[in-house]
Amino acid sequence: MPDEKLTIKVYLDTCILSNLRADKIKEEQLNSLDKICDYENIVFVTSDKMLEEFLKTTEDRIRITLKILYKLITKIPSKPFSRFEGGFSFPFKFPISFGEKVEYELFSSLKVIFPHKDDVEHIYQAAEGGCKYFMTLDKDSILKKAKKFSTQLNKICPNLEFVDPATLIDKLLKSPS
């Protein structure tokens, strides 16, 4: 693994691996992924959310293949989206709380911008996991929204950039390293 200080964490959205497996990535994006893989300091990461989505796949062969691909990627620790306030909780065998469920501010703010809860969960994990880039092929519900709401996103998760593979390789080629 490269020097921890120089490591750039790139969070992979589920669609990256799904499309790779299905051979549905456009040539430009595939070539960009190939070039990104040449960078020693780039580490692809994801969270348990990807596995959760993969396990919903109904066809056994596809689900197993996706599960294997997931296993090959570095995982960042999943962070909770909410906490309970007030009331009391039963620990251990009784995971029950009588308090009020309160979402963390970042999660609530992301829900206002992005229409799909699964996307919000991925983006939240990337931001909380210290990722520099959130890489996706999802133009409509993630990349266009990220561009449209860039001012708000810079305030709530200032260290996270939303990119597709082609955009990421452009950024890497332009950055002094």
Measured from the Cβ of residue 175, the count of other Cβ atoms closer than 10 Å reads 8
Residue pLDDT, tens place only, 49-75: 999 999 999 999 999 999 999 999 999
Q: Which domain holds residue 31?
A: 8-174
Residue 159 domain-assigned (yes or no): yes
- 24: domain CATH number is 3.40.50.1010
Residue pLDDT, tens place only, 1-54: 445 568 999 999 999 999 999 999 999 999 999 999 999 999 999 999 999 999
Residue 33 domain-assigned (yes or no): yes
Number of domains comprising the chain: 1
Residue 176: which pLDDT band, with cuts at 50, 70 and 90? confident
Query: Which DSSP state fits 99?
Result: S
Would you say 98 and 89 are in contact if contact means Cβ atoms under 8 Å apart? yes
Which residues touch 159 (CB under 8 Å, ≥6 apart)? 127, 130, 132
Residue 99 domain-assigned (yes or no): yes
Query: What is the distance between the alpha carbons of residues 130 and 115, in angstroms, rounded to a whole number?
Result: 23
Q: Which residues of 53-72 are buried (b: 16+ CB within 10 A; e: fewer)?
A: bbeebeeeeeeebbeebbee
